[in-house]
Structure 1
C-alpha cells in the first residue's frame, strides 16, 4: 500500500455549487486542495476552494486546464460532459472518478433503467415513449396515474410529470419537450435513500435516510428512517447491486421507494454526493463529502456509523422572483442545542432554489419525531430579505 502524506494531492471538480463547496470544506482537513470549474464567477465553492476556473461544464479547454492542475478529476453536477472528460483524461493521464461511462448511463434515464433491470436491480415497470399512444398504452397496462419523465436533463423533480388520464397524454408530452419514458406510479410507504461509496476495493454505506418531498423537491431527510431493520438491510443490498453497474470510485446517492409490502424499488441514482446525504456532516462519523474525496483519490474509506439521530431540512428560496439573497432571523438556529446552519453562498435567491440547509442532531436515544418538529420550527423561523 502506498504511504499517504499531507499536504496531499489536488482534486479538480467540475461544478462549483454547494456540493463543490462542501467537498472543499471536507478536503481541507485532509491536506487535499480543491480546484473547481464553474461558469459562474465567484461561485459558492470559490470561497473555500483553492481556486476557480471560470468556464462552462463542457468547455474542453477549461477542463484541460483543470486536469493539468489536478491529480484526479471528479464532478458535482451531471451537466459535466462525459465525452470531453474521457478525452481529456486519455490525453492528460488524469483519472476521472466516477468513470465518464457512468455519466453516460446516468444522463439518459431510459438507458439507466434498462441497464439496472438487466442487472437484476428491482425497478418499477417502465417503457420508452415515442408518442402519446405509448403513454395511453402505459395507462392501460399500469393503471392511472403514470409518471412521465424526461430522459435527459431533469433534476430536483424537473421533467417529471404525473399523467392522471389518457386525455392528458399530449399536453404532458409537450411539457416534457424531448425524449421521454414512462413509469408505473409507485404507491410507496416512504421514500428512502442510501448514500453508498465505492472505494478502492471496498464499499461503504451510510444508514438509510427517509426523504420527504414536496412538488418533487427534497424538503427533509430523517435518520434513522422510520422503517424496519429488514427494509434497511434490503436497501443496502439493492445499493450494493447498483454499485456493481456503476463504474468508478466515489459517492452515489441512490434514491429508493419502500412499498407498503416492504419491497424496495429503485427510483434514481446520482453519481455524486447527494442532498439526502447532507445530514452526514453532523450525524455520521464521516461525511459523504469526506468519503467522496477519499474515494476518488483511492484512499481508505472512513467509518459511516450513525453518530446521532439527525434531521436535515432544506432552506429553499421563499421568494416570488429573483432577488439578492440575504438570510435573516438566524438567532433560533444558532441558539438551539444541536442546531446547525449551512449557508451555500448563492448571491441570488429564486423560487424554491436550494439556498442552504439546517440539521438538528440529538442524543443517541433521541426521538426523530421531536427532532423533525424542531427542524421544521427552525426552518419556518428563517426569512429571506432583499
Structure 2
C-alpha cells in the first residue's frame, strides 16, 4: 500500500467557479493545495485556492502551466476542452481525472445517451434532430410534449425547450441554435439524483436526494428522498452501471427520473461534483468535494453515510438585470439554528444566477418537511434588491 503523507500534492482544477471554491475548501484539511484556471480574474475560487491562472478553459498554454504546477488535473466545468486536456496530459505526464474520454462522451448529449443506452442503462426514448420534421415525427411517436435539447453547451436547464405541438417545432429548434436531439417527455413522480464516486479500486454513493426544479433550474434538494426502498435500490444499481461506463476517477452527479410505476430512467450525468450534492457538506459523513479530491488523487474514499435528514435550497439572483452582488438579510440565516450559509463569492448577480445556497441539517426529531419549510422561509428572506 502506498504511504500517503501531508502536506501532500497539488490539484490543478480547470474552472474556478463555486465548485472550484468548494473543492479548495475541502482539499485544505487534507493537506492538498489547489491551483485553479479560470478566465475571470479573482474568480470565486481565488480567495481559497493556492493560486489562480487567468486563462480560458481551452487555453492550451494556460493548461500546460497548470499541469506543470499540479500532480493531478481535474475540472469543475464541462467547458473544459477534452482534446487539449488529453494532449497536455500525454506531453506532461500529469494525469487527468475524470478521463478526457469521459468528458468527450458527456459533452454531446446525443453521444451520452447512445453510449449509455448501448451499455444497458435505462434512458427515455430519444433521437437525433436535423430539422423541424424530426421534431414533428417525434411528437407522432412519443406524444406531446417532447423535450428538445441542445446537444452541446447546455447546463442549468439552458438549451432545454419543451415542444407542446407540431406547430411549435420550427421556432423551438431555432431557439436551440445548434445541433439538437429530442426526448420523450417523462411524466415522472419525482426527480432524484445519486452522487456517485469512482475511486482507484472502489466505488461509493451518497444517499439518494430528491430534487425540485423550476424553470429547469434546481431549487431544492431533500435527503432522504421520498422514494420507496425498492426505487432507491434501483437508483443505486443504475448509478453503479453508469460508473462502469465512465472512464477515470472522481465524483459523478447522476440525475434520474422516478416514474410513477417505480421505474428509474437516466436524465443526465455531470462528471464532477453537482449542485444536488451540496447538502453533503453538512449532511453526510464526508462531502462530495472531499470525495472528489480523494478520488482523483487515488486516495481511499471516505464514508458517505447520512448524518441526519438534510435539505438544501439555492439562492438565486432575484434581480431583473445584472448588477453588483450584495446579499441582504443574511442575519435571518445566521440566527437560525442548524442553518448553514454558503456564499459563492460572485461579484455580479444576474437573473436566476446561482449565488449561494443554504443547508439545514436536522436535529433530533426534525423531519425533512419541517426543515424544508424553514429553508424556504430563509430563501424568501434573503434578497439582492433594496426594495
TM-score band, normalised by shorter chain: over 0.9
Matched, 1:379 2:358: no
Question: 1:332: how far off?
Answer: 1.6
User: Which whole-Å CA distance do the structure 1 matches of 2:214 and 2:385 have between them?
Assistant: 23
Secondary structure of 1:384's partner? coil
Indicate if the aligned counterparts of 2:67 and 2:88 stay in contact, CA closer than 8 A. Answer: yes
**Residues 28-43 of structure 1: pairs in structure 2 closer than 5 A:** 28-43=28-43
Secondary structure of 2:267's partner? strand
User: Which whole-Å CA distance do the structure 1 matches of 2:52 and 2:68 have between them?
Assistant: 13
**Residues 76-91 of structure 1: pairs in structure 2 closer than 5 A:** 76-91=76-91
- Structure 1 residue aligned with 2:280: 280
Indicate if the aligned counterparts of 1:309 and 1:364 stay in contact, CA closer than 8 A. Answer: no
TM-score by length of 1: 0.99
Secondary structure of 1:8's partner? coil
- Structure 1 residue aligned with 2:120: 120
Matched, 1:48 2:48: yes
User: Which whole-Å CA distance do the structure 1 matches of 2:6 and 2:89 have between them?
Assistant: 25
Question: 1:337: how far off?
Answer: 1.1
Indicate if the aligned counterparts of 1:147 and 1:160 stay in contact, CA closer than 8 A. Answer: yes
TM-score by length of 2: 0.99
Question: 1:364: how far off?
Answer: 5.2
User: Which whole-Å CA distance do the structure 1 matches of 2:90 and 2:198 have between them?
Assistant: 22
Question: 1:174: how far off?
Answer: 0.2
Indicate if the aligned counterparts of 1:325 and 1:385 stay in contact, CA closer than 8 A. Answer: no
Indicate if the aligned counterparts of 1:14 and 1:37 stay in contact, CA closer than 8 A. Answer: yes
Question: 1:44: how far off?
Answer: 0.2
- Structure 2 residue aligned with 1:312: 312
Indicate if the aligned counterparts of 2:318 and 2:385 stay in contact, CA closer than 8 A. Answer: no
- Structure 1 residue aligned with 2:215: 215
User: Which whole-Å CA distance do the structure 2 matches of 1:215 and 1:66 have between them?
Assistant: 36
- Structure 2 residue aligned with 1:4: 4
Matched, 1:258 2:273: no
User: Which whole-Å CA distance do the structure 1 matches of 2:199 and 2:296 have between them?
Assistant: 7
Question: 1:385: how far off?
Answer: 4.1
Secondary structure of 2:137's partner? helix
Tell me, which stretches of 5 or more residues in structure 2 are unaligned? none
User: Which whole-Å CA distance do the structure 2 matches of 1:273 and 1:364 have between them?
Assistant: 29
Runs of 4+ in structure 1 over 2 Å off: 363-366
User: Which whole-Å CA distance do the structure 1 matches of 2:265 and 2:189 have between them?
Assistant: 12
User: Which whole-Å CA distance do the structure 1 matches of 2:58 and 2:260 have between them?
Assistant: 42
Indicate if the aligned counterparts of 2:192 and 2:208 stay in contact, CA closer than 8 A. Answer: yes
Q: State the Cα deviation string for residues 129-163 of structure 1 (Å, max 9, x = none).
A: 01111101000000000000000000000000000
User: Which whole-Å CA distance do the structure 2 matches of 1:155 and 1:301 have between them?
Assistant: 28
Question: 1:363: how far off?
Answer: 2.3
User: Which whole-Å CA distance do the structure 2 matches of 1:208 and 1:62 have between them?
Assistant: 38
Q: State the Cα deviation string for residues 307-331 of structure 1 (Å, max 9, x = none).
A: 1111100000000000000111111
Question: 1:232: how far off?
Answer: 0.7
Secondary structure of 2:384's partner? strand
Q: State the Cα deviation string for residues 275-322 of structure 1 (Å, max 9, x = none).
A: 000000000000000000000000000000001111100000000000
Secondary structure of 1:188's partner? coil
- Structure 2 residue aligned with 1:363: 363
- Structure 2 residue aligned with 1:16: 16
Indicate if the aligned counterparts of 1:218 and 1:314 stay in contact, CA closer than 8 A. Answer: yes
**Residues 342-357 of structure 1: pairs in structure 2 closer than 5 A:** 342-357=342-357
Tell me, which stretches of 5 or more residues in structure 1 are unaligned? none
- Structure 2 residue aligned with 1:200: 200
Secondary structure of 2:13's partner? strand
User: Which whole-Å CA distance do the structure 1 matches of 2:159 and 2:166 have between them?
Assistant: 19
- Structure 2 residue aligned with 1:323: 323
User: Which whole-Å CA distance do the structure 2 matches of 1:229 and 1:364 have between them?
Assistant: 23
User: Which whole-Å CA distance do the structure 2 matches of 1:92 and 1:111 have between them?
Assistant: 29
